[in-house]
Every structure is written in C-alpha cells, then in structure tokens.
Structure 1
Amino acid sequence: MNVFVDTNVIIDLLAKREPFYHESLKLFSLADSNQIELTVSALSLVNTHYILNDVMKLKDARSIIGKFKVLVESHALNDKVVDLALNDLNFKDFEDGIQYYTALESNANSIITRNLKDFKHSKIPVMSPKEFLAKRKTES
C-alpha cells in the first residue's frame, strides 16, 4: 500500500505539534515497521525544513529531515505536476494541487492530510491520519 502524506502531517510529526503528534507518530511508525509505504513530495521536504528552521537551529532541522527521509520515498517535483496543478482550478491553493498531482504521479492509493476540504475533488481516497488509522484497524 502506497500512501501519500501531505506536508501538514509531516510537520505534525517532526515539530511534535499537539494535538496531532501522536496520530502522525502512529502513521509513520507503520512505515518504520514496513507495514505501509509512505510517499511525500520533494516540495514537502523543502517546506518542512523551512518551518522547522523557524523553531530550531539549521543544523538540527537538517538532521531531523535527513533521519525522516529513511521512512518515506520522496517523489520529484516535475513540469508535468506543476502544469497540472496550475491548470486545475479545483485547487484554490497551488501547493495543494502540487501535492495532489504528485500523489497521482506516485501511484498512491490514498492521501493523508488534515486539510480534507482542500482535496474534495480527489479521484483517490483522502483521509486524516486518525481516519486512516481507524480504517486500517478495522481491516486488520
């Protein structure tokens, strides 16, 4: 199962943002134990670093991102994804369009985000970390 993770969920984990930290930790623990494959956009890593750099030292932010990368597969941002996001007016936020089309390009089975409303036109399932974990539990 290939699950695409939005930037906000990554930041929840790495910045230990409450009340979302524990659900994101459970999600990424599934990847750590090879139960699921997590994919992120390369743009998410850049944006996450930018946010972390505001709350910690540069060296620490880079170290955290470097350790985090072993849990996920980073999918490159390319012209096709940018063009699709630019031309899809269903996405008011360009970055959400980038995330969505990166998820499609990486053949993700679902998108995990806390901003469900931003992906209401998605062709693949969109869930919060809490919903994904609950669904996974009932399927086990």
Structure 2
Amino acid sequence: MKIFFDANILLDFFLERSPKQELINSIFEKLDGNEIQGFVTISVIQTCAFYLKQAKELSVCKEIIGVICEKFTLVEGNQKSILSAIQSSHNDIEDSIHYFICLDHHMDTIMTSDRDFLKLSKPYLPVISPEELIERTEKCTPRLMTERS
C-alpha cells in the first residue's frame, strides 16, 4: 500500500504530540514492518524541519530528518502538479499540490489529520485519517494471511 504521509502525521509521531499516540505509533510499526510504503515530498520534510527545530535541538532535528529520509521515499512534483493544484477549487494550495503529486505518482491514499485536507478525498485517491488507515490495513491483513497459506 503506497501511502503519502502529510507533515502533521510525521510531526505527531516524532514530537509525540497526538492524543492518539498509540495509533500513530502503530502506523509507524506497519511502516517498519513493510506492511505499508511511506512517501513524502521535499516540502513535507521542510515543514517538519521547521517545526522540529522549534521543539528540539538542532542535532536531534537533523537526526529525525535523517530517519525520515531513510524510511520514506521522496516523490517530486512538476509544473503540471502545481498548475492542476491552482486550477482546482480547493483553497489550500499546499494540500492541493500534494494531492496532484500523489495522483501523478499513483499513490493508494494520502494520510493526514488535517480536516480540510480530508475534504479533498475522492474515490480514485482517498485522503484518510490515521484511524481509517488502521481500519483498512486490518481488513487487508487477514486476506493477505489467507493468500500466503
């Protein structure tokens, strides 16, 4: 499952700031266990670096950014992604750019806790919450276990 991680999910995990921290931790366990593939853009990394630097020492911030680079695949946008985003009806340009980058890279889903970003969800590219991701992966796991048997 190819999942684009919005910056707020990464920050929830690394800053341990989520009221549902166990849920967020379980998503990263799935990432570590190769049950899901994580993807980010440079702007997600830059956003994380900005907020991490405010909360942590520089050395810790750099270490976390290194971990993100090791665990996640970097996807790039292009002029088409940006033009599609600014021509869309969504008001948050950054979210729209990420949405169209994910479409271009054939992501299975985008995961965020941003309520406005969740409104961008479409059947061909769902934008889901961490809770929805856990539900979807738990539904898939029994099927995968049966297929392997």
Shared fold by TM > 0.5?
A: yes
Correspondence 1:80-95 to 2 at 5 A: 80-89=80-89, 91-95=90-94
Q: Which runs of 5+ in 2 are unaligned?
A: 142-149
Paired with 1:21 and 1:118, the residues of 2 have a C-alpha distance of: 20
Which residue is equivalent to 1:25?
25
| Contact 1:53 1:61 survives alignment (8 Å) | yes
Q: Write out the 4+ residue segments of structure 1 that deviate beyond 4 Å after TM superposition.
A: none
Q: Indicate the RMSD between aligned Cα atoms, in angstroms.
A: 1.6
Which residue is equivalent to 1:104?
103
How far has the Cα of 1:77 moved from its partner? 3.4
Q: Deviations over 1:87-129 (max 9, x none)?
A: 212x211111122112112210111111244342433122111
Paired with 2:78 and 2:57, the residues of 1 have a C-alpha distance of: 30
Normalised to the residue count of structure 2, the TM-score between the two structures is 0.84
Alignment-mate amino acid for residue 36 of structure 1: I
Which residue is equivalent to 1:134?
135
Which residue is equivalent to 1:63?
63
Q: Which has the higher contact order (CA 8 A, sep 6+)?
A: 1
Which residue is equivalent to 1:37?
37
Residues 119/131 of structure 1: CA separation in 2 closer, same or farther (3 Å cut): closer
Which residue is equivalent to 1:76?
76
Normalised to the residue count of structure 1, the TM-score between the two structures is 0.89
